[in-house]
A and B are shown apart, each in its own frame.
Chain A
Amino acid sequence: MDSAWTALDVVTQTMVQKAIADPKTVDLEKLSNAIVDQSLKDLSFCKDAGRMCYAVVQAEVQKAATSVFRRNLLTRLQQEFTAREETRNHSVQEWVCLVTFICSIFDYIKVNNAPLVALVDPIYDCLFRLAQPDALMNEEEVDCLVVQLHRVGEQLEQTNSQRMNQLFYLLRDGFLLQEDLSSMTRLLLLEILEFRASGWTLTNTAHKYYYSEVVD
């Protein structure tokens, strides 16, 4: 949370704190836009931004019994999602941040302990895009794809297993048939294939293979 927190400017930090203390005193629409803006710029921020948003959503529910922040957040996210192809065309970095942020929201924010069903298909749409041949050429995008699958893959599969199966057809095809992939990309793809095949976990030996040389 520290890196996410310090990534924000002081004004937004103050807004977040005030919103959690007393949601009615803050312009929640403005706050949600500020958080989304920051997350589209900063990859390290958007991983944890979900948790920050969750805190604000909870505070609003408990103290004001409204859900203005969540609604504004979702509306803005939907706009960004709809424009994702253009975003990808002018900045792959921003596109990757968008996917990471949406998945972070999906991971943290629940409705009565159930995941946000409205986000399931959009997330799949994003992952499918990342699994396309042109995207597999960018390590940035492949990295995003596998990280998100590690994070929310199991939940996604529980809500819609058919699309997950289709996604993995694409990944297998990419791994086997696409000739111009870097070895790093193929490593990442193989790992995620094994990860899912073992029930969204890695066996000890597989873990050793992939991560034994990773420095903590």
Chain B
Amino acid sequence: MWAGLWASQFTTPPLQCHVTSTLTYENDCKPDENGKKGASRWSHCRKRGADGNLRKSYEVEEPGKCSHSSRRPESFTTPESEGPVSRVKNWGDEVEAEEMRSNVRRDMHRYRRRILEADFPQRDRKISSGSSDSRDSRDSKESPAKGDLETDETTLIRRQKQINYGKNTLAYDRYIKDVPKDMRQPGVHPKTPNKFKKYSRRSWDQQIKLWRVKLHAWDPPAEEGSDLQQIEEIDLGEIMDFELDVECSADTESQCPTSSGASLSLAEVIFSIYKHIPSKISSSDPILEFF
């Protein structure tokens, strides 16, 4: 009877109860085990990718405490234990999660300060001319009012992780060495999405995808003609999604080369990659001949 009760409560394989002699690593939060099926607001839409196959869980795994999505109890009583046994956590994971949280908080303070500094000259302008709607919306894109910041820690951490995946690539390393910040041209050079601005989940994920696609232009060459390969290797499923998303253009004017309201076509995405042409591409590159 005990075994049945126990098995029904936990979806993981039975933990060893003799905590002192064995080591069990558990994270507080394992969305893939709890199952995001129906749990996230995403589950009712975008269930399939453009290729028709069911999508995998959208969420990035988040170690550390995320109380609103973890349904695992902190401690439990098993037949063998003498009382509640606390869940053994992995110190390495815990420290890294804590570090990410405090990095995000620190980033937020810095960003707030930067906004305050930028706000001052603009505030004067607003008072004197009387704020019009277009100006407000433009201003808020550059320096969102304090209340318009994304502050939810879980969201910020998730976004930071996505950014880290992109920054942790050879392409990004080569990009930042290749193009110093002051030489970056908006629309041409990839710009890291701003995690503190308010975006819908979909909009944010699209921005990340676009950013990472753009970064591929700096992938290290494996062999000649590799850039052509890279274009072919881009998951067309991902790119096809761009056409369906109207929000992309409104929020990512600095990333998308199109400034009209139109969504991106495949050709435009490829073109945006080739705008900054790494020197190694030969002029006889067949893709370039299109343009």
List residues of chain A with CB under 8 Å of any chain B CB.
Answer: 67, 70-72, 74-75, 77-79, 82-86, 111-112, 114, 116-119, 122
Our pick among A72, A78, A85 for the contact of B20 (Cβ within 8 Å) is A85
* A79 in contact with B92 given A112-B99, A112-B103 (CB within 8 Å): no
A-B contact pairs, 6 of them (CB 8 A): A71-B92, A85-B20, A111-B99, A111-B102, A114-B102, A116-B95
Render B18-41 as a binary contact track against A, CB cut-off 8 A, 1 for contact.
011111000000000000000000
CB proximity of B177 to chain A, nearest CB, Å: 14
CB proximity of A186 to chain B, nearest CB, Å: 30
Contact partners of A84 in chain B: CB under 8 A: 20
B164 to chain A, nearest CB (A): 10
Cross-chain contact B94 with A118 (CB below 8 angstroms): yes
Assess whether B96 is in contact with A67, with CB atoms less than 8 Å apart: yes
Interface set, chain B 60-98, CB cutoff 8 A to A:
88-92, 94-96, 98
Choose one: A85, A111, A122; the contact of B98 (CB below 8 Å): A111
**B253-283 vs A, Cβ < 8 Å mask (1 yes, 0 no):** 0000000000000000000000000000000
Residues from chain A with a CB closer than 8 A to the CB of B90 are 75, 78
Q: How far is the CB of B102 from chain A (nearest CB, A)?
A: 4
Residues of B within 8 A of A122 (CB): 91
- Interface size range of chain B in the complex: 10 to 19
Which residues of B come within 8 Å of A, CB atoms?
19-23, 88-92, 94-96, 98-99, 102-103, 106
B21, B23, B96: the one contacting A86 at CB < 8 Å is B21
Taking A111-B102, A112-B106 as contacts, is the C-beta distance between A78 and B95 under 8 angstroms?
no
Bound together, the chains give a CA A85 to CA B23 distance in angstroms of: 14
Nearest residue (CB) in B for A77 is B91
Whether B20 contacts A111 by the Cβ 8 Å rule is: no
* A79–B23 touching, CB < 8 Å: yes
Taking a contact as CB atoms under 8 Å apart, the answer to whether A74 and B95 are in contact is: yes
A82 touches B19 (CB 8 A): yes
**Set of chain A residues within 8 Å of B89, measured between Cβ atoms:** 118
- In the bound complex, how far is the Cα of B102 from the Cα of A67, in angstroms? 16
- Docked Cα-Cα span, A74 to B21, in Å, equals 18
Residues on the B chain within 8 Å of A118, using CB: 89, 91, 94-95, 98
**Complex contacts, A82 vs chain B, CB 8 Å:** 19-23, 88
B21: chain A residues within 8 A (beta carbon): 82-83, 86
Q: In the complex, A191 Cα to B90 Cα: how many Å?
A: 36
- Nearest CB in chain B: distance from A127 CB, A: 17
Closest residue of chain B to A113, judged by CB?
B102
**A74, B92: Cβ atoms closer than 8 Å:** yes
Q: Which residues of A contact B22 (CB under 8 A)?
A: 82
